[in-house]
Amino acid sequence: MKYDLNLLPVFLALMKERSVTRAANRLGITQPALSNSLNRLRDMLKDPLFIRERYGIRPTQLAEEIAPTIEAALAQLDDLIVHQQDFEPGNAERLFMIAPNSYVELVLMPPLVARLRELAPGIKLRLTPFGNDLAETGVISGTTAMVLGRVIDPPDNLVVQHLMDDGLECIVRRDHPHVADLLTRDLYESLRHVNVLPPGRIRAGVFQALGQQNLKREVAVSVTHFLAVPEMIAVTDYCATLPRLICRWLERDPRLKVVPAPVDLGTFPVEMAWHVRYRHDPAHRWLRGVVSELAKSLTTL
């Protein structure tokens, strides 16, 4: 009997997303095309595989049972095939799904896009959020190429590489009436603060750094993204404690200025993780090298 191996990634995407629409988006195909592939899967395996529910689809018992085997088989095929392939960046045509946290998306993704445009214009990126849950990014199943940020307790099927370390600094408006070039502990604690609560481990890192130094702050407003900070700071006498590279990026705004934190708040790591199936993939290895090189260059600025 002949089997269409192109149907197997569709099956894994449906297992991951539990939604025909989201699975189609993940694979970069239309919803009708995915539905057609699902019907062929059902015919091939003689099972409904996925049952419609109010908020998506639920895998059948058979789907749950065969999913680990299919994932392992595809990983072995990937290793066998891509290891034999040559990779030429200038001629490559490929889509990579990447899950950066909000910090990485702001400081590393723009230079990565610029470098890819220069060296590999046929490579396209699709970004998906990376919060606290690695499973939600798709990297554990291999449907996402890599995650970038802080990787906590990775499973055995992920490879983790340290990219760089960053520290914490403070940002205020340039004409702040109380802050010149230095920020003392007493002044820091007397100010009101803008607090950034993005999804992911940076949030915990900032709280831990402040707690370890017993540094107190009165939070006036909390926002969910770094991009909300400059307007908040520019029109108030508030202060924000942010990663150093974020502060350097925000300092381009002439209304703002960066000052050192009143005490050493330490550093936090930035890491890259990917599924073991991509260990020998030439295109993936090349992209990892570009990401690593760019991360190192950021720490020397």
The model's pLDDT over 30-78, given as tens digits with 9 standing for 90+, comes to 889 889 999 999 998 999 999 998 888 999 999 999 998 888 888 777 7
* Residue 201 pLDDT greater than 70, yes or no: no
Per-residue pLDDT at 1: 52
Q: How far apart are the two ends of the chain, measured CA to CA in Å?
A: 59
Instruction: Name the packing angle between helices 31-45 and 20-27 (round to 10°).
Output: 110
* CA dihedral of 94, 99, 101, 103, whole degrees rounded to 10: 0
In this structure, which topology does domain 7-82 adopt according to CATH?
Answer: Arc Repressor Mutant, subunit A (1.10.10)
State CA 68 to chain mean position distance.
Answer: 25
Please give the model's pTM, rounded to 2 decimal places. 0.70
Q: What is the CATH number of domain 86-301?
A: 3.40.190.290
CA pair distance 177, 157, nearest whole angstrom: 53
Q: Where are the domains of the chain?
A: 7-82, 86-301
CA pair distance 14, 24, nearest whole angstrom: 9
The model's pLDDT over 220-257, given as tens digits with 9 standing for 90+, comes to 999 988 999 999 999 999 999 999 999 999 999 999 99
State CA 194 to chain mean position distance.
Answer: 23
Per-residue pLDDT at 202: 53
H/E element, 192: strand 192-196
* Residue 294 pLDDT greater than 80, yes or no: yes
Out of 62-71, 75-84, 114-123, pick the least confident.
75-84
Per-residue pLDDT at 27: 83
The model's pLDDT over 85-104, given as tens digits with 9 standing for 90+, comes to 667 889 888 899 999 999 99
> Alpha helix (H) ranges present in the chain?
7-17, 20-27, 31-45, 61-82, 102-107, 109-119, 134-137, 185-190, 201-212, 229-234, 244-250, 282-299
In 3D space, the residue among 176, 174, 180, 179 whose CA is nearest the CA of residue 254 turns out to be: 174
